[in-house]
Amino acid sequence: MKRPRVEKFRSSQETNDGAIKVRYTDPIPAELLFIIFLRLPAKTLLRCVCVSKLWASTIRSQDFIISFQSQSRILFFVRDYHQTRFENWFFLSSQQGTSSFLSRTTSHVSDSRSRCRQPQEVNGLICCGYGTSPVIYNPTSGKSLTLPRIYVGHNVGPYVENILGYDQINEEYKVLSMTPLPGGNRSGESVIPYKEHKVFTLGSQGLWRTVECNTIHCPGTISVCINGVVYYGAYLGDHMKQLSLVRFDVRTEQFGFTNMPESVQTLSYYSSTLMNYHGKIALAYSTGYDTYELWVLEDAKEHEWSKVCFSTRSWTQPCIKFNVEGITRMGEIILTPRYGVEFYAVYYNLATKQFRKIVIEGYKSPGGVVVSWEYVEKTSSMLL
């Protein structure tokens, strides 16, 4: 059979019978491709790089990666009330300023046998490990990686703490692991002294390496990585009573300590939250049922903090106790209800003092822990 001839025209024009012939000769302009690619999810982009060299070079360009990563999503982790680790992973994308989500994906951590007290997101990857077998998870690809087992010289049960960090200079992910002192994991103890510290570099074939930390301390908050430095709140000193902000430089693997503000009396994974506040580390601290203080570290060496106060009292929902989950790039505090059956988040604008509610349709919270923050999808498939 003779193949039909395809005609290409330099411009759109109307034929004698009224049909429109469309111009096909010129490719899509690179500027338009750039804009189109920015609207696609990372999973689709990973397939697009196989289409042509032009598409691959555009998606892998530094300008595109920076622009794409500036578009953050909202990542929700939902823990079943009767489970000991996070089973259901909900990844949702939302448009800025809207109150409904565009997409929803549910994934499961396939290899995790360790507990997960708080999922921790760093530069597109999630650290799920709370024990001797930490797990790194990529929600974009749906893949997970179980790191080599951490061998310790004494029984510590599940109390090995693992923290993920990212060094943007060398483009390296590292996991900091902390092991409690012998006899420091007795049942009923809330503050456990940690001494032995190890580091594992993702993508390497090496083993866990011991790093020096001369200050015995106990992590008391989730960690946040900003510009290659991991921050977390901790207890230290005699009887683990002194509160401090720990700084771990991912590249040099050195520790530093900054005193917490005097008004902060205790650290908790539920009542005190670390966050990235316009490039500075900040601590949101609950001072009452509906009142909060936001402490921003201005100078780590001088132990200088500034304070911002806010309240949820004017929120129209009565008798709602909120957890502070983080802050958006636009300066909105992310709040989630501690109890209830409706699954939603509340954004509070510190400048305008206005609230807006984000409802996740089609899902009811089981009453477990809900954690959310802004998440950047990974366009690179080098890791996971």
Reported pTM: 0.76
Parallel/antiparallel/unpaired status of strands 272-277 and 291-299: unpaired
Domain definitions of the chain by residue range: 72-375
Which pLDDT does position 236 carry in this prediction?
93
Provide the total of helices (H) and of strands (E) in the chain, helices listed first.
Answer: 4, 27
Which pLDDT score, from 0 to 100, does residue 226 have? 93
Regions of the chain where pLDDT drops below 70: 1-26, 42, 66, 69-118, 129, 140, 153-158, 183-190, 316-318, 340-341, 360-384
Q: CA nearest 46: which of 76, 72, 68, 71?
A: 68
Which one is the CATH code of 72-375: 2.120.10.80, 1.20.1250.20, 3.30.2320.50, 1.10.472.10?
2.120.10.80
Q: What is the pLDDT of residues 8-18, one digit of tens each?
A: 334 445 555 55
pLDDT at 69: 61
C-alpha to C-alpha distances, 181 to 129, 155, 192, 212, 213, nearest whole angstrom: 19, 10, 8, 15, 13
Question: Could you give the C-alpha distances from 227 to 169, 247, 327, in angstroms and in order?
Answer: 9, 12, 17
Would you tell me how many other CB atoms lie within 10 Å of the CB of residue 163? 24
> Is 232 within 8 Å of 223 (Cβ atoms)?
yes
Smallest CA-to-CA distance from 217 within 244, 247, 186 is with 244
3-state secondary structure of 240: helix
* Distance (Å, whole) CA 355 – CA 348: 5
Burial (CB count <10 Å: 0-12, 13-18, 19+), residue 43 = middle
